[in-house]
A and B are shown apart, each in its own frame.
Chain A
Amino acid sequence: MSTSPSHDWATRRLLAYSVGLMPEDELLRLEEHLAGCPECRARLAPLKAAAGAGAGHLPSSLIATWPRSSRLLEGLERELVEAHLEDCEECRAALAFAGHEPVVAPALSGAGSESASGTSRAPAPSGRHFWAWASGLAGAAAGLLAWAAATHPGWFERGPHAFGTMAGSARPVAVAFEFALDSLTTGAVRLPEPGFRARAAKPIDVGAVTNVSGMVLILPPALQPPSPEAGERRMVITLLQDGRELASHTGPFYTLGDAIRLRPEGRLEAGDYDLRFALDPAAAGEPALVWFYLLRVR
């Protein structure tokens, strides 16, 4: 068995390599090592086989334990599994063979799920869970902001607004933001946990949006301050269409409350809109936290 520092380093990095998560400079070094190290190649071989068996399909271990494993899925991973099941006859057949319905079991945490009355609140995550997640998001947000600043400089040029205009519309429509609404408001749409990059994995159908009722959005736990200190941080909410800012509001995080409403002066045109939440960092020098939702207006 090899014991050189190079070999020890390689064995520690094999797992990251096997899932494709290794920086460019390390990749070259590791592949060079692999070429001359039969022991490392032997360690990787079973993982290669498992992947070749159908990495693009639901793992057999997931199907075998479907009722309780699918219940644990959250957020994007849940959406991706659901989307795959809609398209993949092979995985539906495997589930049927195992005696399971091709339906992802309701989430354990209750996030994104509603009671029969449709008015239950998703439980707030534990502080540890939120902050572990949020601190991780900070790194991602830095990249996002850099990307957004480069491609959509207009997003960052606006100051605090309570109203905005439909810049991309033939007939400009002002949109007002209302905060701290009752989450039991009729027709409210519950936002799932935040999506990724500039687009959520799936658009959220918000129906027709008029001046009468506007668009009421119930905020997920991630968009509610976990502490009074966090509540004082500045939150910028921006509504965009095709990358153009339509409306924006800036205020303390705590003012959002459980639910918010976007009320246009007239009727919002049918189409897809991005709703962006940007929260100032806890400490100067750190990147802001940014969340995106894709809203589909009929």
Chain B
Amino acid sequence: MVATAVAGFSPSASHPRLGIDSLAVLERPPLPRTSPLRRTPLGAIDWKALRASALQGLRRKLRPTPASTIEDLAQEVMVTLFRLSRRETLLNPEALTNTLVHRVYVDHVRRMRGPTGRLDPLPDSDSPLEAPAQDPAREVGADMLQLFRFVVLEHFKQHDAPCHELATDFFAELSWASVARRLQVRHITVIRRWSRCMVQIRELAYSQRGPVWEWAREARIV
């Protein structure tokens, strides 16, 4: 599997494939907790150096951005890197850090453009993205789209196992046709099954308060 299919960003020519392929683990289920063999020993990674590299890369890409925002985004890179290191040995953590920096940078700019900005076309190359001016009073927070999906999955995990399975599959594939193939049912069948689940999400979105639901209402997706 190539990195572009996993991370959604084309690795630049300077990124050796060896390290970037570590992102492939993102599409596989986590290794069992009892299988530490392939995990990266924490001590084997120079986290301080990687963090410095992430900060430097983000500063270069987001020049007019407040330092606190850069710190938050670097922290996001490091958390993702840490999670990956627990799943699989990182063969080239430096290259992976660079890839994650680019990914977090692009995500940040798209988040800043509002909900629909998440779907803006990606640049063809490493050319800089046009970021809207940041309100100094507005701090970077959680990615609401990801948080929305998390809340949906967690709700179904607790209350509706069939919907949880469908949502997990769909959020991984973003294709009901693919989900139908995996479940070996007709396309329309899986969509009808999901419709019942979707009603629950809509009810949640209309009845609950909090930033996740407000985001969904503002984005006019419910």
By a beta-carbon cutoff of 8 Å, the part of chain A in contact with chain B is 11-12, 14-24, 27-28, 31, 34-35, 39, 42-65, 68-69, 72-78, 80-81, 83-84, 89-90, 93-94, 97-98, 125, 129, 132-133, 136-137, 139-141, 143-144, 193-194, 196-197, 199, 201
Contact = CB atoms under 8 A, between A and B. Distances in A.
Contacts of B220: 16
Looking at chain B's contact residues, is the secondary structure mostly helix, strand, loop, or mixed?
helix
Nearest to B121: A43
Contacts of B129: none
Contacts of B26: 49, 52-54
Contacts of B175: 31, 34
B151 A80 contact: yes
Q: Kindly state the interface size class of chain B when it binds its partner.
A: 35 or more
B203 to A, nearest CB: 4
A72 B83 CA distance: 24
A228 B17 CA distance: 67
Nearest to B9: A46
Looking at chain A's contact residues, is the secondary structure mostly helix, strand, loop, or mixed?
helix
Contact of A52 (B122, B172, B216): B172
A49 B171 CA distance: 9
Contacts of A23: 195, 198
16 contacts: A11-B119, A20-B170, A21-B201, A21-B216, A27-B191, A34-B175, A52-B6, A55-B168, A56-B154, A59-B143, A61-B140, A61-B143, A64-B75, A73-B212, A80-B155, A129-B209
A78 B192 CA distance: 30
Given A48-B174, A139-B206, A61 B151 contact: no
A81 B135 CA distance: 28
A56 B148 contact: no
Given A15-B221, A57-B150, A59-B147, A136 B86 contact: no
A112 to B, nearest CB: 11
Given A65-B75, A75-B210, 4 more contacts: A20-B197, A46-B9, A80-B155, A98-B79
